[in-house]
Chains A and B, each alone.
Chain A
Amino acid sequence: MRKVFKMQNDMVNLIIDGVDISVASGSTILDAAKSVGIEIPSLCHLKDLGPFGACGVCVVEIKDSPKLARACATKVSPGMVVYTKSEKALAARKFAVELIMGDHDADCQGPCKLNCPAHTDCQKYIKEIADGDYAKAVSTVMEVFPLPASVGRVCPHPCEKACRRKNVESPISIAHLKAFAADMLMKEGKAVEIKKHAPTGKSVGIIGGGPAGLTAAFKLAKAGHDVTIYDQMPEMGGMLRYGIPEYRLPKKVLRYETDAIVSLGVKFKNNFKIGRDATLDEVRAKHDGLIVANGAWKASSMRVKGEEAEGVWGGIDLLRLVATGQRPNLGSRVAIVGGGNTAMDACRTAVRLGAKDVFVIYRRTRNEMPAEQIEIEEAIEEGVKFKFLCAPDEVLSKDGRVTGMRLQIMELGEADAKGRRKPVPVVGKFETIELDTIISAIGQRNDPDGFDQLTQTEKGTIAANESDFATNLEGVFACGDSVNKGAGIAIEAIAKANTAACALDAYLKGASFKPHKPVLSERNVTEKDFTDIPRQERCKLNIRPGGERRLDFNEVNLPLSEQVARNEARRCLECGCHDFNNCALIRTANLVKADTKRLRGEFHPGFVERKLIAIERNQRKCILCNLCVRTCQDLAHKGLLGLVGRGFTTVIKPEFRDEASIAQCKDCHLCADNCPTGALKIL
C-alpha cells in the first residue's frame, strides 16, 4: 500500500496534444510525448547526453506560457497542458529548420539522379559498378525500370548533362556504364532476382509494349497484379524496337530484357490493335484497371506541295520497315528533313541501305539541332552531308515519283522564348536539289483511332492528369508518347509510366495516391569547388570506324572492357549524401515542409577534414548540434572534438597535439552514429 502511494507520488499527470499522460516526475516533455507515441522532432538531443537546446526544433507551446519551451529540456509539471503542433510551435519549428537548411551547403542527392526524369539512382549504381558488383548495379536500375541494357544504349542521358564532373573535365559516362553492367550480366546469362509481392487477384491491362508499357507492366507485376500487355506489333519494345535502328540497339538485347518481363509473369499479346482486334471497352472489361501507353507512331507531314509523291517517306515508317528486316531501295540520292534524333537514325539507316549521297536538310544551324552531338558526329563520319538553313519548299516529281526538292534558303532571326533563334526565309532565295527519296523526320504524333472515348488535348494527344495520369475513364491511366505534350525521350515515358503504375496500384488497392515532391537540400556549386580535384579524362568509347560500320547494321559501339568501365565509374564525385536515408535533418525538413532556400545566405566555413582516423568530417554538412563533441566527451570518454571560433563561423574541430591522442580515435564511430546529418562518414 505504501509502495503504491509512493509510486503515485512520483508520477506527474499532464496533457499533451489532448492525450492524458502519466509519467515519472523529472521526465522531460519530449520523453512524456514519446511515451504515448507523439514524436517531437529534435536534431541535437540524445537521451544519454542530457539536454542541450541548440537546434530549437523541439519547441512546444505550454498553456498559459507566453514563451515556447524546448521539449528536450523542459521537465513535466503536474497539470501541464502541452501543444506540440500548435500554430506557434509549428511556425517556430519550421523557422529553425529553415535556418538550418539555409546554412546546409549539402546535396541530398546527386544532380544525376535529380535530373533523370525517372530519378534513377545513378550515383548508387555507378558506385556498384566501381565496386564490380554488376548484379547490384542492375538491381538498382531495376528499382526504376526493367530495361537497363536497352535504355543505357539509347538514352540521351540528362543525367550526364547535369553531372558535376563536367566542371573538372567531362561528365561520367553514366548511360554506357549502365548498359555495360547489364551486358556483363547478360553475357553470363544471369538475371537479377526480382522480388514480387503476393498475388492481389487484380488484373491489369496495358495497351502498348514500349518503354512506358513495359515499365508499368514490370512495376504492377512486382506489386502482385496479373498483367497483360497488348501491342499492335509482332514483338514488344515499341519504339525501342521499331524506331531505334539495330546498329544502336540490337534486337537481341531488347529481347533479353523483354523476356525477363515475361518470366515475371507478364502476358504479352502481340499483333493486337485496339479498334481492329478489340474495342477499348472490350479490353477494359477484361481487367480491373488499364494503362494506355500506345505511343506516337505517325510521322508528321512536311506540309509542302507535292509531298504525296512516291518516294516520300515518314522517318519512323522507314525505321519500322527496316526493323522488321526489310531493306528497301532508296536510290542513290536521299534527303532527310529534320534535325532530331529520328532524322539522324533515318540518315544513317539510308547510308546503310546503300544510298550514295545522303543529305540532312535542316532549317537552322548545327548549334540549334536537337539531335545528340554524338549522333551528328557519327552521321558525318559515315558520310552524311548536312544542308543547314534550308527548308523544304516543294517536292519536285515526275510521273508521281520524286525527282528532287526545292529548298527555301533561311537565315536566323530573333531568339524565341527559349533563346533559340528562329529561322526566317530569305525572300526569293531558293535552291533545288535532285533526289530519289525524301524522308520526313520532323516529328511524330499519336494515332487516336480506337481511343475516342478518352478525352483529348488540343494537340490530339490523350488528356491525362499530370500528377497521376488518370484519364476521364475510371481506372484508366495513360502515359508515354501519346499523352499530353506528346512524344519525348524513352526515360521520360518511363518516368510517367512509374507514376501511372503507382496511381493504378493505389486505385486497385482502394488507397489514395498523393505524389509529393520531397524536400531536398541542394548545393549551389561554383568553379572553386572543383579546383582541387585531379583530372582524369572520360573513358573513350569503343566505336567501330565510320567507313566500316556504314556498310552494315551491326552495333556501332563495341563493349567497354571491365577495367575501363570500373575506372570510369571511379571518376564519380559522389555528390549525393551517403547518409540520405538516415538523415534526421532532411526527415525533419520534410516533416515541417521546410523551404530549404528561403533563408539561404552565406554559408559557414566548409571543408572536409580527415584528421580523425576513423571518421571523415564534412563541415559543409555540419549543423553544429554538438552531438559528436558531446558523444566523444561523455560517451566515448575521449574528448577529441571541440568548438572553434565564434558566431556564424564556429566549427567543430579535433585538436591533436600528439600521436597518442590521434590514436584514441579508432573503431569507435559513436560520433558518426549519433550525427543527425551526413557530416560524419565512417572511413
Chain B
Amino acid sequence: MKIIIGEGSCGIAAGARKVREALLNQRAQSEQKLVIGKTGCIGMCFLEPIVDLYTDEGQLLSRLVRVKESDAKRIYSAALDGDLSEVKDLVISKDDASFLEKQTRIALRHCGLIDPEDISAYIASDGYKALEKTIKSMTPEDVIETIKISGLAGRGGAGFPTWFKWNAARKAIGEVKYLICNADEGDPGAFMDRAVIESDPHALIEGMLIAAYAIGASKAFVYVRAEYPLAIVRLEKALAEARAKNLLGENILGSNFSCDIKIKAGAGAFVCGEETALIESLEGSRGMPRLKPPFPAEKGFTNAPSNINNVETFANVAWIILNGGEAFAAMGTETSKGTKVFALTGKVKRGGLVEIPMGLTLRDVIFDIGGGIRDGGTFKAVQMGGPSGGCIPEHLLDTQIDYKALASTGAIMGSGGMVVMDEKTCMVKMARFFLDFTAKESCGKCVPCRIGTKRMHELLVNITEGRGRPGDIELLLELSNGVKAGALCGLGQTAPNPVLTTVRYFKDEYEAHINKTCPAHECEALKKFSIDAQKCKGCTMCARQCPVSAIKGEVRAAHVIDQDKCIKCGACLALCKFGAVVSM
C-alpha cells in the first residue's frame, strides 16, 4: 500500500509536512517500509491535511481528512495491516466526497493525483504526448485551428479567444517572438494558478511549449509572483527535468523546434497581472501599463511580438490537442466552451478548488458542490472576479457560468475567485475592502485610477464610519462611471465594479448607512449598544469595566449607556451575564 500526502500550499499550511514527518518516523520504526509519497492540491482545502491510501497498483483505497500528527501511528499501522477500521473516523464523509464527484477536471486533471516533483508521474499520465503529437504531426496553423475549434478563451478574466491572440502573434512580423505565461495571480481569495503550478507544473510547461510552437516563439517566460515560493520551486524542478529529457530547450524531441522557458518572479504588484504592466516589469521597469494599441502581439516584450496567456489557459492546451477541439467545445454553452476553475471561498461549507463545465449555474457551484452556507447562515451574495468583478445577489443565483451571462449581472467571470457572503456581511464594507485594495494597488500612472479610486474609497470609508451624507451614493456612481471610462488599463476600468454592483443590488444598505445604521451589524462605527432595562439587574459590572465610563446607573437599578461617550468596543456586551446589553 502507498501513503500519499496532499502537499499543496493549502495542505502544508494545515500541517501536511508535520504529518509527513510523523509518518516517516513511523516508517523508520517499522520493519516494513511503505511508500510515502506526495501530491499537490487535491482541491478540498477545507479538509486539509489529506492523506490518501493507494493500493500498490495505484487505486485509491481511502481518503483520510483533517489528519493530525498524532494520527500517524494508526494510519501507518492501518496501511501495513490493510485494516482501515482503525482510521474509520478519519475517512472522508460521503457528503464531502461529493465535492469532487460533481466536477469535471481538465485544467486540474492531474491535481492531487500525481507527484508534481516527478516528471515520470506526469509522463505516465499521458504527459507530453500532446507535445509530441504537435511537433511531429501538426503545423502551427493546425494547432491554432484546433484551439479555435475548442473555443478556448483567456482564463485570466477577460475571456478573449485564445486562438485569435495566437494567430495575431504568429502573423506579426518579428525575428524573435516571445511567449509569456501570466502567473501573477493577485486577486484576493484566488489560488487557481498557484494550485496548477504546485500540483501539475508540467501541464503548464507542455501547454506553453505547444503555444510557443504555434506562434513561433523560441523564448518563453513564466511571470510568477514571488509570494508563491512553492510554485516557483516546483516549476524550477519541472523545467530542469523537462530540459534533461529534451522536452525543453534546443531541438525538442529531436525536431527543429527549440524553446526554453525562464521564470521571472514578480515583486507582488497587483497591476503586473495586467499584460502590458507585466511586460514593463519583465523588462526591468516599474510595472505600469502601456497604452493599447499597440497590443503585445505586435509590440510586446522588448517591442517584439509577444503572446501572453494565463496559467489555466495553458493548462487546458495539452488536453485539447490530445482529445481534439471538438471534445472541449462539447462542454459548456453557446458562448463559453470547456470548463472553468474557481477558487471557492468565503462563508461556504466546502471551500476549495472547483472545476466545472461552463453552463452550470452559480447555485450548482455554491450549493451542490460547496454545500451551501456554513454555520446555518443564509446566502446573501457572491463576489466573482475579485476586485475587478462584482457581486451577484440571491435572485440571480441561477445565472449560468458563462462569460456573457455573468457580465450581464454587472459582475465578470474573472480569473476564478468566488467569494461567498452570508447575511452577516456588510456589502458596503465589502465594496470598501475591494476599493482599498485597488486604490493601493493602482500603479499611479493615470489620473482616473490613481485619484478616482482614492476618492471612492474615501467616500466608502465615510459611509461605513457614519459620516455618509445625502448625495454620496450619486457621487460614488459618478466617480465609478468616470473611472471606468477614463482609466488606462483593466485595473482601473474594472475597479469600480464592486461599487457599481453593490449599489445596483444593495442600494438600501448604502442608504441605511447614510442614515447611520449598518443592516449587517458589521460596521463598528455604526454599532449602537444599549441596555435592556427589563433584563438589567444593576450588577454594575459593565459600568465598572467600561473603558470610557460611558455606563451609568445605581446598584440594583437599570444602567444606561451614554451614546456620546461610547466607543463601541463591545466590552459590556461580552461582560453582561444577563443578556441585557444589546447591539443594534
Contacting residues, chain B, for A51 (C-beta < 8 A): 291
Option from A73, A95, A650 in Cβ contact (under 8 Å) with B448 = A95
Known A-B contacts A56-B446, A100-B447; A95 and B439 likewise in contact (beta carbons under 8 Å): no
A547 to B288, CA, bound (A): 74
Question: Chain A residues near B293 (CB, 8 Å)?
Answer: 75
- In whole angstroms, how far apart are the Cα atoms of A626 and B444 in the complex? 10
Instruction: Flag whether A37 is at the interface (Cβ < 8 A).
Output: no
Identify which of residues 435-461 in chain B touch chain A, using a CB-to-CB cut-off of 8 Å: 439-448, 450-455, 458
Q: Is B486 close to A, CB under 8 A?
A: yes
B404-452 with Cβ < 8 A to chain A? 439-448, 450-452
A645 x B455 contact (CB < 8 A):
no
Residues on B with C-beta less than 8 A from A250 are none
B448 close to A96 (CB less than 8 A): yes
A203 to B196, CA, bound (A): 89
- Contact bitstring B315-329, A, C-beta under 8 A = 1, else 0: 000000000000000
Interface string of B259-300 (1 = CB under 8 A from A): 000000000010000000000000000101001010000000
- B566: interface (CB < 8 Å): no
Produce 1/0 per residue, A51-69, CB < 8 A to B. Answer: 1111111010000000110
Q: How many A-B residue pairs have CB under 8 A?
A: 94
Contact assessment for A99 and B444 in the assembled complex, using a CB-CB cutoff below 8 Å: no
The answer for the CA separation of A68 and B454 in the assembled complex, in Å, is 22
Instruction: With CB as the reference atom, state the residue of chain B lying closest to A51.
Output: B291
- A55-B447 in contact given A102-B455, A601-B455 (Cβ < 8 Å): yes
The one of A53, A624, A646, A648 in contact with B488, judged by C-beta atoms closer than 8 angstroms, is: A53
CA distance A55 to B444 in the complex (A): 11
Collect the chain B residues with CB atoms within 8 Å of residue A99's CB.
447-448, 451-452, 455, 482
Cβ–Cβ < 8 Å partners of B444 in chain A = 624, 643, 645-650
A425 contacts partner chain B, Cβ-Cβ < 8 Å: no
What residues on A are CB-neighbors of B571 within 8 Å? none
The answer to the question of A273 belonging to the interface, with a C-beta cut-off of 8 Å to chain B, is no
A54: contacting residue among B286, B439, B488, CB under 8 A: B488
Given contacts A59-B486, A68-B486, A602-B458, contact A648 B451 (CB under 8 A): yes
Q: By the criterion of a CB under 8 Å from any partner CB, how many residues of chain A are at the interface? A: 34
The reply on A92 being an interface residue by CB < 8 A is yes
With A102-B455, A601-B455 as known contacts, state yes or no: A73 contacts B447, CB within 8 Å: no
> A298 CB to closest chain B CB, in angstroms?
50
> Residue A306 at the B interface, CB < 8 A?
no
Taking the closest CB of chain B, its distance from the CB of A366, in whole angstroms, is 38
Q: Decide if A56 touches B442 in the complex (CB within 8 Å).
A: no
Q: Which residues of B contact A257 (CB under 8 A)?
A: none
Q: In the bound complex, do residue B441 and residue A646 qualify as a contact, i.e. CB atoms below 8 Å apart?
A: yes
Task: Among B293, B452, B454, find the residue whose CB has the most chain A CB atoms closer than 10 A.
Answer: B454
Is B452 touching A646 in the complex (CB atoms < 8 A)?
no
Q: Separation in Å of the B35 CB from the closest CB of chain A?
A: 48
Q: Does A165 contact B (CB under 8 A)?
A: no
User: Does B121 sit at the interface, judged by CB under 8 A?
Assistant: no
What's the Cα separation between A642 and B285 when bound, in Å?
Answer: 10
Please, how many residues of chain B have a CB less than 8 angstroms from a CB on the other chain?
29
Contact A67 B445 (CB under 8 A): no
Minimum CB–CB distance from A173 to chain B (whole Å) comes to 40
Complex Cα gap A599–B441 (Å): 21
Closest-CB distance, A55 to chain B (whole angstroms)? 5
Interface contact A92-B485, CB-CB below 8 Å: yes
Q: Which one of A55, A601, A602 has the greatest number of beta carbons of chain B within 10 Å?
A: A601
**A103 on the B face (CB < 8 A):** yes
Best-surrounded residue of A55, A56, A75, A602 (most CB of chain B within 10 A): A56
Docked Cα-Cα span, A54 to B444, in Å, equals 9
Complex contact B443–A646 (CB within 8 A): yes
Q: How far is the CA of A642 from the CA of B284 in the complex (A)?
A: 13
A550 within 8 A of B: no
- Is A70 in the interface zone, CB < 8 Å from B? yes
A57 to B451, CA, bound (A): 14
Minimum C-beta distance from A68 to chain B (A): 6
**B291 engages A73 (CB within 8 Å):** yes
- Chain B residue contacts of A56, Cβ below 8 A: 446-448, 486-488
Question: Are A647 and B454 closer than 8 Å at their CB atoms?
Answer: yes
For the complex, what is the distance from the CA of A102 to the CA of B288, rounded to whole Å? 23
Contacts of B478 in A (CB 8 A): 95
Give Cα distance in the complex from A103 to B451, angstroms: 7
CB distance from A388 to the nearest CB of B (A): 40
Q: Which residue of B lies closest to A70 (CB)?
A: B291
What is the CB-to-nearest-CB distance from B54 to chain A, in angstroms, rounded to a whole number?
A: 47
Docked complex: B26-84 residues within 8 A CB-CB of A: none
Closest to B440 in A: A647
CB-contact partner of B446 in A54, A95, A649, under 8 A: A54
Instruction: Provide the residues of chain A in CB contact with B479, threshold 8 Å.
Output: 599
Establish whether residues B442 and A648, one from each chain, have CB atoms under 8 Å apart when the complex forms.
yes
Name the residue in A54, A55, A70 with the highest tally of chain B Cβ atoms < 10 Å from its Cβ. A54
State the B residues within 8 Å of A (CB). Answer: 269, 286, 288, 291, 293, 439-448, 450-455, 458, 478-479, 482, 485-488
Can you list 6 contacts pairing A with B, beta carbon distance less than 8 Å? Answer: A53-B446, A642-B286, A643-B286, A646-B443, A647-B441, A647-B443
Given pairs A70-B291, A96-B486, A643-B288, 4 additional interface contacts (CB within 8 A): A56-B488, A99-B448, A100-B451, A649-B444
